[in-house]
Amino acid sequence: MRVGIIGTGYVGIVSGVCFAEMGHQVVCFDVDQKKLALYRQGKSAIYEPGLEELLTKNLAAKRIRFTDVITEMLHDSDIIFICVGTPPLPDGSADLSQVETAVREIAENTPHGAYKIIVEKSTVPVGTHKRLKNITRLYNKSQAKFDFVVNSEFLKEGDAIHDFMHPDRVVIGVETDEAKNLMIQLYEPFKDKILVTDPSSAEIIKYASNSFLATKISFINMVADLCEKTGADVSLVAEGMGLDKRIGRAFLNAGIGYGGSCFPKDVKAFIHVMEQHGVEASILEAVDTFNTKRFHRMVEILKEEIWILKNKHIAMWGLAFKPNTDDIREAPAIKIAQELLDAGVILHLYDPAAMENFQKLFPPSDRVHYALTPLEAIQDVEGLLLVTEWAEFKKIPLKTIYEKMKLPVVIDGRNLFPAEEMIKHNFRYFPVGKGKVLDRMNETK
Ligand SMILES: NC(=O)c1ccc[n+]([C@@H]2O[C@H](COP(=O)([O-])OP(=O)(O)OC[C@H]3O[C@@H](n4cnc5c(N)ncnc54)[C@H](O)[C@@H]3O)[C@@H](O)[C@H]2O)c1
């Protein structure tokens, strides 16, 4: 089938490449010339494992191409996916201007009498499909026929190709049989996973899913706080809870709170939508507030342990909001780094993929150093903050870490290191939600 993609960021490029891999003919359109130039050479503009290989393969097979001319994309596609950004506005609501521009341009440029399916893949508030329908009515003078479909994307950065190709569900919110049948044909390899709904339900499914996952994270972090006060271990609590099939173990890892380009903005936008419709959103307000406060935790522990932070050398391992991505949007590392700099710390930063992006916010200086390896980052530092749980950190021998550091203070925001081993190696070790370990640290102060 002939697929068009508008917006080749994380979702657009992965969707485009995966549709091509499924055998469809894909044309991707973006306004960002730099991204397009990279993609045409088979290079990815984002860090995403497996993406470049699949892109190169499908470029060679001539199943995917890239253009900055919208009429070209419209001429060669029947099903057009809107994959542009929906970032937060200051009041928490979703900024839908990129979506509106994309749909307006489709309406203005679709040839006379043509039939196109416009698919909302971007995450948008309930009711957006109605607004988009109206935009096409206003701007379409060529009497083209449009159908609207809501097909939100559920992929996770870092595992995006796998998620797209092995979905838990493909939600198709649709109003006409013609559009429904074409969408089912498009997703034929995943036909057992398709859930057909009305467009409003499909729009709500996306926000409700992300908000629910965020709620699980804030919930387990709250439980972790109680574990710390009572000598309990949040990993065991999560295991015990997760064995209940109604609950499940996923998203019950205590830590420093959720970040990234989706959860923080989607929770806020969902709250905003609820308020607009007069629906009580206090559960999600609590989730959001709890998460925002959580970023201070690591710096508070550090202050408690080494007291004055001014001119102390502190390392941070991990800057991306999660492992296997270079994405730092709403990453906890941003707030933590800023708080440490405000306290007068000299920072030593390392991340396998996100340092280039981080440098745009925190340029290298005499207070901010970027290391080429994790070990270089911890040379003679007085504390290490483990912010993102990249697998490579776990492979480094604890003895080596201990020897490199000036003070062996490790604040593990992701419970990456084995607590008993850390204690055996004489670290001052501060994990999340492990009451007994923290009690031992306090006793030996
Ligand atoms: N990133 C994720 O993990 C993820 C997962 C699921 C859903 N989503 C949702 O998908 C949407 C896209 O997210 P993203 O992370 O891929 O965004 P992104 O910011 O990485 O990419 C957006 C792309 O759209 C392009 N663009 C903007 N306006 C355009 C226009 N008028 N015409 C053509 N191109 C245009 C930009 O140049 C950019 O390349 C958002 O609504 C997001 O919430 C994201």
Q: What does the pLDDT look like over 426-436, one tens digit per residue?
A: 999 999 999 99
Return the CATH class of domain 295-443: alpha beta
Q: What is the pLDDT of residue 225?
A: 97
Return the CATH class of domain 2-197: alpha beta
Q: What is the pLDDT of residue 442?
A: 83
The fold of the 206-292 domain, in CATH, is: N-(1-d-carboxylethyl)-l-norvaline Dehydrogenase; domain 2 (1.10.1040)
How far is CA 272 from each of CA 26, 93, 265, 280, 330, rounded to the nearest angstrom?
35, 6, 10, 10, 19
Q: Do domains 2-197 and 206-292 have the same CATH topology?
A: no
Contacts of 192-196 with C-beta under 8 Å, sequence gap 24+, read 193/167, 193/168, 193/169, 194/169, 194/170, 195/169, 195/170, 195/171, 196/172
Q: What is the pLDDT of residue 440?
A: 87
Ligand 1 residue neighbourhood (C-beta within 6 Å): 6-12, 29-32, 35, 83-86, 98, 101-102, 122-123, 153, 155, 157, 261-262
Atom number, ligand 1, closest to the C-alpha of residue 101: 31
How many angstroms separate the alpha carbon of residue 99 from the centre of ligand 1?
9
Q: For residue 209, what is the DSSP state? A: H
Q: What is the pLDDT of residue 142?
A: 81
Q: What is the pLDDT of residue 444?
A: 83
Predicted model pTM? 0.95
How many angstroms separate the alpha carbon of residue 405 from the centre of ligand 1?
41
Domain ranges of the chain: 2-197, 206-292, 295-443
Q: Which residues share a beta bridge with 386?
A: 317, 412
Q: Phi first, then psi: what are they for 71, rounded to 5°?
A: -65, -35
Could you give the CA distance from residue 51 to residue 17 in angstroms, rounded to a whole number? 8
Residue stretches of the chain with pLDDT short of 70:
none
Q: What is the pLDDT of residue 143?
A: 86
Kindly state the tokens that stand for 161: 């190709």
Could you give the CA distance from residue 138 to residue 119 in angstroms, rounded to a whole number? 18
Under 8 Å between Cβ of 363 and 355: no
262 is catalytic: yes
How many angstroms separate the alpha carbon of residue 6 from the centre of ligand 1?
9
Q: What is the pLDDT of residue 43?
A: 97
